[in-house]
Structure 1
């Protein structure tokens, strides 16, 4: 009889422990912002390369960031700078070079890698498929919108968007409101983030600006130095997300952003965000 009475007690204890564990897990998860691997794990590997993206995936970044540029003959490439000078053994602007010319260049790195090439957007998406989430930046070229349709075509080709695609696998960001509005018109299901760079300390984001962005975007991406608790509250009050990128002092600023409870951070060191988030807990 005593054994029969013990069984319900044991079951209650097990259920209580499970609930406590699940609640604790949710609390821990809520303290960690969405982690976007800035040009891949670019603090460890050459930016916008397969090694950088592979490492970001291994570090369990929520998204890999891809900056898009376009070649003279109309191919989208994963490349940040307008010029190839900083990252390769060549010289000149991406927009003035064909894909064949770009592919002849080598990305300057240590002796660890000798044959890294500039990647096309299609090559990146083909390589990773649905195994990662994509945070893609579009831009205008000479005040013209030339990459949005090409980008969407590639994403559809690899079934990253469209019928059967996983919701939230792609986020599009841009400093160009025109570009985001075009993407919204062509693929309204994709979340959009309006990027903002504020250099002047006296300049503040107004409620009017937030209201305008909310008409077509789901979030705002802004340089961390201009992010305050007031701004975070005003953006989130509009049911928008706030993401931050770092110009300098990433480690110190990361701690501050976590404390302010921003929704996501761009990081060159995606493995360190979880560590810093848990330490703040």
Structure 2
């Protein structure tokens, strides 16, 4: 079964003094591209988290977010009193205290918004806590992979329909091919008759056979059938083979284009146009296949 590259997963971990939320979103991409938003205290373990995510998702443009919300009384941040006092004094020196009785509180409010008003003590990573975070990341990955599989199942259904449509159109091309040959023979015969010249019938037949063989599409029919069968086989594969499906669809396009260039017959050309339309829909879907 194929998987989509699009998905979303979320998991929440509640610890005694903090709430940790993990969110993972992925979109289609040729390679694995991870954008990680992680609090500074966990930066030294970012490579570990990246490895877990890349091994699970393998491919796609991935956004990973780790949010920390303090729910207990403990906090790693405190007011940097010396810096705040200095800010207030400098604001007063600039004459920004105004005439309000609450000018000190107003200045304090302004000072608290300025850089370095809060200082954060660097926390050492608790290994048990980080193990719990890793477990939460794995839970979010399980959710996003389920999302990818569900969307992949819908994509697979549509891809099989498109392949079936191309197969049916190819069968119709095979049916009208004898008419195309007969039409070509008749057209050439009429063109020669219009010349009102005596011709060597044997030579005419030789030239006619050569001309018809030049526009023979039997090889293209056989190769296209093989490509369609191979495409279906790869839809059944348990491997992630979006790139292989894209390559097969390109080969299908080559054969369809060649049939179109050789057809020289309006009913067949109309069928080829329909085949191209179905193939374009296949290619659009494959862009999102893992």
| Greater share of helix | 2
Q: TM-score range by the shorter chain?
A: under 0.3
Q: Which structure's CA Rg is the greater one?
A: 2
TM-score, normalization by structure 2: 0.26
